[in-house]
Structure 1
Amino acid sequence: MADKKPNPALMKPVQPSNELVAVVGSSPLPRTEVVSKVWDYIKSNNLQNPENKRELLADEKLQAVFDGKSKVSMFEMNKHFAQHLS
C-alpha cells in the first residue's frame, strides 16, 4: 500500500475574505488550516447544536460566512468556504 501524499492544492495558502478574517485571522492559510481554525472557533464559542452535533449554530461572524444562515450542517460548511477563499 503506497503512502498517501497530501493534496498539494489543499496545502497551498489561500487568502480568506473579510468575513472569514473575523474568524481565522488575516494571514493566508492552507485550506486544511482554515477548516481547523473554524472548528476551533465553533468549539470555543459552543456553536454546535447540543441535540444534533452535526448542526452548527452560526453567530454573527459565521453568519457572514454562511450567507446569512443561522444554522448549517457540518457538511455544508466547506461549500460556504469556497466563495470566501482566493
Structure 2
Amino acid sequence: MPAKKRARKPAKRKVASKKRKPNAAFMKPLMPSEALSEVIGARALPRTEVTKKLWAYIKKNKLQDKVKRTMINADDKLRVIFGGKRQVSMFEMTKHVSKHLK
C-alpha cells in the first residue's frame, strides 16, 4: 500500500523586523596617530574608513604575501604601526591599528 501524501503547510513568514540602526562606535571619527597618518592621511576618520584606506595602501604597494594572502608584509611605515613586526595577519592588523586611533 503506498504511503499517504501529506498536504504541505504554508511556510511561516517572518515578521518584518525594525530597521537596524548602525553602530555609532564604528561611525565615530577617530584621529590617527602620527605614524598612522603617514599611511592614511591626517584627518579624523571612522574605523571602517581607516581599514579601507589601509587596505588600499597595502594593495597599491603589493604588501600582501604572495603565497598566504591573509598575511601582510610590512614596509617601513607599517612596521611602526605593527609594533616592529615584519609580517602580521589581516586579523591581527586591526588590533595593532586600534592602538594608533584616539
Instruction: Give the structure-2-normalised TM-score.
Output: 0.81
Asked whether 1:49 is paired with 2:42, we answer no
Q: Which amino acid aligns with 2:94?
A: N
Which position in structure 1 is the counterpart of 2:30?
14
Q: Which amino acid aligns with 1:19?
A: A
- The count of aligned residue pairs is 86
Higher strand content, 1 or 2: 1
- Post-superposition, which runs of at least 4 consecutive aligned residues in structure 1 deviate over 4 A? none
SS at 1:72 equivalent: strand
Structure with larger Rg: 2
Residue 4 of structure 1, CA deviation: 3.5
Q: Which amino acid aligns with 2:65?
A: N
Residue 82 of structure 1, CA deviation: 1.5
User: Could you list the runs of 5+ residues in structure 1 that have no partner in the other structure?
Assistant: none
Asked whether 1:58 is paired with 2:74, we answer yes
SS at 1:14 equivalent: coil
Which position in structure 1 is the counterpart of 2:93?
77
* RMSD between superposed Cα atoms in Å: 0.9
Residue 2 of structure 1, CA deviation: 4.3
Which position in structure 1 is the counterpart of 2:40?
24
Q: How far, CA to CA, are the matches of 1:6 and 1:45 in structure 2?
A: 32
SS at 2:83 equivalent: coil
Sort the Cα spacing of 1:2 and 1:27 in 2 relative to 1 into closer, same or farther, 3 A. same
User: Could you list the runs of 5+ residues in structure 2 that have no partner in the other structure?
Assistant: 1-16
Q: Which amino acid aligns with 1:42?
A: I
SS at 1:19 equivalent: helix
